[in-house]
Chains A and B, each alone.
Chain A
Amino acid sequence: MLKSWKTIQPYALVTPQTLVLVLFLVLPILMILLVSFWQFDGIQMIPGFTLDNYKSVFTSDVTLRTYLNTFKYVFLVWFFCLAIAFPVSYFLAFFVEDQKWQIILFLVCTVPFWTSNIIRMISWVPVLGKEGLVNSFLTGLGLIDQPIEWLLFSDFAIVLGMVHLYNFFMIAPIFNSLMRIDRSLITAARDMGASGFQILKEIILPLAAPGIAIGSIFVVTLVMGEFVTVRMMGGGQAASIGKMIQTQIGSLQYPLAAANAVILLLVTLLLVMAILRVVDIRKEL
């Protein structure tokens, strides 16, 4: 009796979490898959089996253009997040010596993540708007006569907004891998005459790779499904897969939205698998 309870116990303990995930993650995704084969009569969805939704996704050239545009955002946001996160984490991990300060400065980098994304996006308006800080500063210096229009409601603003929102997901895992690097490795390398750059390239970068991979997975998957930033910072014109799906839901075309969502999920999974092929992250988990 006692022995059998011991074996059941872990299963009993994980039941609530499994239920939450099955009900609100697995089941919804299975339903998306199912509904993507259903029909739509202009008012509601009708159970059945048709490949029409997928056909219309694959035959429309809007789909391809939207994907290319989404990939553009994914690449740019990933690149800038990495370009910011690595130097920042490198500085925190190796140049800030006092551990207390290390923690405080790391928290400074991460606190905005726990506040509202919507407010953080709104806060760019007085900075980048036509009469915003950047434009009045540049006009004041006499560098430009006309305010720059593309600072807000443009692809530039979308990428800037996403880098602002998502750099946390790159900084946290990279900082974590850098902090795990055995400091004696670096001392040894320096004793053997390695330059700072060599240490960075031969020791730190390879050991930071799993952190970079985890951060990249987060950033890539977040941007792939993005529609809020695209909507708020892009001003109507900009297109992304997430926004396309959201528009289709708005007009109640659930089967078509579902087909798009299935393809989005597959593409996202392929990207994640590609990252995992390059870097082995198991040690980090």
Chain B
Amino acid sequence: MLQKRSLTYYLLAAFFGLFVLFLYGPMLAIFTLSFQGEEGTLTFPMKGFSFYWLGQVFQEQRVGNFTDAFWRSLALGLTVTLLSVIVTVMSALAFRQRFKGSATLFYLTIASLIVPSVLVSLGIGIVFQVLDLETNWFTSGLGAHLTWTVPFAFLIMLGIFNRFNPSYEEASRDLGANDTKTFWEIVFPLILPALIGIGLLGFTLSYDEFTRTSLVSGQKNTLPLEIFGMTTNVTSPALYALGTLTTLFSFAMIVLAIAAYNYTARRQSQ
């Protein structure tokens, strides 16, 4: 577009390359170290190559239990995902027209995204304390996650409905279908792949969330909290192996999300 293949192009390309190295380099380091030999330590050089530490992740650990924490994070993530998608589909449908208070709700949603996380965590903690309720990952933790996933889902959802062609709905209404019927038989099938994409992104946000949950998870830890607790105790490559496994799990979700999103975009442009 600008002077093609100029010096600027190569400088910027080199800068971009360095940036990608900065982003992924450390991650690649722990991926590699996950295959450390049995005698290996937390740093390079590699002392052999083995799957020993990846196997260790699933063994009962002295200092923590990944498996239980993983199931908790999975259950919480799925609940958060389902709730976020339902809540934001409804509000995005409403946001297709202007209504009194729409701007307030919009800014409130953005505020939820940018308010310092420690405030959300502290605030929910205090509410539970004052009401004499016990904090738990599936109550206070769930609420904390929603303040993070709902705004993201909402913003992406607005984008999807922006591109949605309203003539399908008008046609359905002209044929005598009511709003509910129109939604379930016309709108929902068309946006379903996008909903799956948004859901998966929301899931990874919840699955990896740490700050907002940290003060309100109660007695039992979610996976990121469990991993955080282990950073001070675990001094073996098992920590990296766990990091590798959970990152690969997130990657899988992201790839699925992108695929689902592309599929919708293609279908809508047809």
Of B12, B25, B102, B123, chain A has the most CB atoms within 10 Å of the CB of B123
- Could you tell me which residues of chain A, from 242 to 264, have a CB within 8 Å of some CB in chain B? 242, 245-246, 249, 254, 257-258, 261, 264
Task: Take A17-B105, A116-B246 as given contacts and tell me if A261 and B118 are in contact as well, using a CB distance cutoff of 8 Å.
Answer: yes
Q: Which of A13, A131, A132, A224 contacts B94 (CB 8 A)?
A: A13
Does B26 contact A217, Cβ atoms closer than 8 Å? no
Contact A115–B43 (Cβ < 8 Å): no
Once the chains bind, are B8 and A118 in contact (CB under 8 Å)? no
Interface residues of B (CB under 8 A from A): 1-3, 6, 8-9, 12-13, 15-16, 19-20, 22-27, 29-30, 33, 42-44, 83, 86-88, 90-91, 93-95, 97, 99, 101-102, 105-106, 108-109, 111-120, 122-127, 129-130, 143-144, 146-147, 150, 154, 179, 201, 204-205, 207-208, 210-211, 214-215, 224, 227-228, 231, 239-240, 243, 246-247, 250-251, 253-254, 258
Question: A200 — nearest CB in chain B belongs to which residue?
Answer: B2
Q: A16-B91, A129-B42, A225-B119 provided; 8 other pairs, C-beta below 8 A?
A: A10-B99, A21-B147, A111-B251, A118-B210, A123-B30, A125-B43, A254-B125, A261-B123
B19: A residues at CB distance < 8 A = 84, 88, 109
* Chain B hits for A26, CB < 8 A: 108
* Residue numbers in B under 8 Å from A268 (CB-CB): 115-116
Q: How many chain A residues have a CB neighbour from B under 8 Å?
A: 82
Decide: B122 and A257 in contact? CB cutoff 8 A: yes
Surface stretch bound by B, among A29-37, A50-58, A61-69, A205-213:
A29-37
What is the minimal beta-carbon distance from B37 to any residue of chain A, in angstroms?
15
Contacts of A20 in B (CB 8 A): 83, 87, 143, 146-147, 150
The verdict on A279 contacting chain B, using a C-beta distance below 8 Å, is no
Closest-by-CB residue of B relative to A250 is B215
Complex contacts, A21 vs chain B, CB 8 Å:
105, 108-109, 112, 147, 150
A148 at the interface (CB under 8 A from B): no
CA distance A50 to B228 in the complex (A): 37
- Interface check A127, CB cutoff 8 A: yes
Residues of B within 8 A of A246 (CB): 118, 214-215
- The secondary-structure label for the interface of chain A is helix
Instruction: Given A10-B99, A31-B130, A122-B30, answer yes or no on A17-B116 (Cβ-Cβ < 8 Å).
Output: no
Q: Which residues of B contact A109 (CB under 8 A)?
A: 19-20, 23
Known: A91-B16, A105-B16, A111-B251. Contact between A227 and B211, CB under 8 A?
A: yes
CB–CB B117/A225 < 8 A: yes
Asked if residues A225 and B116 are in contact (CB atoms below 8 Å), the reply is yes
**A225 engages B118 (CB within 8 Å):** yes
Does the CB pair B118–A14 fall under 8 Å?
A: no
Which residues 1-56 of A have a CB within 8 angstroms of B? 9-11, 13-18, 20-21, 23-29, 31-32, 35, 45
Given A111-B254, A122-B243, A272-B114, A17 contacting B24 (CB threshold 8 A): no
User: Quick check: B22 and A164 within 8 Å, CB to CB?
Assistant: yes
Among A24, A123, A136, point to the contact of B143 (Cβ < 8 A).
Answer: A24
**Do B123 and A112 touch across chains, with their CB atoms under 8 A apart?**
no
Please classify the interface of chain B as helix (H, G, I), strand (E, B), loop, or mixed, using the class held by over half of its residues: helix
> Which of B16, B86, B247 is close to A115, meaning CB atoms less than 8 Å apart?
B247
Q: Which of B83, B118, B130, B201 contacts A227 (CB 8 A)?
A: B118
Q: Which of B23, B27, B125, B258 contacts A249 (CB 8 A)?
A: B125
Contact B93 A13 (CB under 8 A): yes
Whether B20 contacts A108 by the Cβ 8 Å rule is yes
Q: When the two chains form their complex, are residues A25 and B208 in contact, meaning their CB atoms are under 8 A apart?
A: no
Within the complex, what minimum Cβ distance (angstroms) separates A265 from chain B?
6
Chain A residue, CB-CB nearest to B215: A249
**What chain A residues lie within 8 Å of B147 (beta carbons)?**
20-21, 24-25
Task: Flag if B20 contacts A116 (CB, 8 Å).
Answer: no
Distance from B248 Cβ to chain A, minimum over Cβ atoms (Å)? 9
Q: What CA separation (Å) do A164 and B263 show in the bound complex? A: 31
Complex CA gap A18/B100 in Å reads: 14
Is the pair B201, A24 in contact by a Cβ cutoff of 8 Å? Answer: no
Known: A126-B33, A221-B115. A32 touches B123 (CB 8 A): yes
User: Which residues in B have their C-beta under 8 angstroms from that of A257?
Assistant: 122
Report how far A246 CA is from B83 CA in the complex, Å: 29
- Measured between beta carbons, the chain B residues less than 8 angstroms from A261 are 118-119, 122-123
Instruction: Give the CA-CA distance A249 to B43 in the complex, in Å.
Output: 35
A118 CB contacts on chain B under 8 angstroms: 208, 210, 224, 227-228, 231
Find the A residue at minimum CB distance from B145. Answer: A24
- Complex Cα gap A105–B25 (Å): 16
B144 x A114 contact (CB < 8 A): no
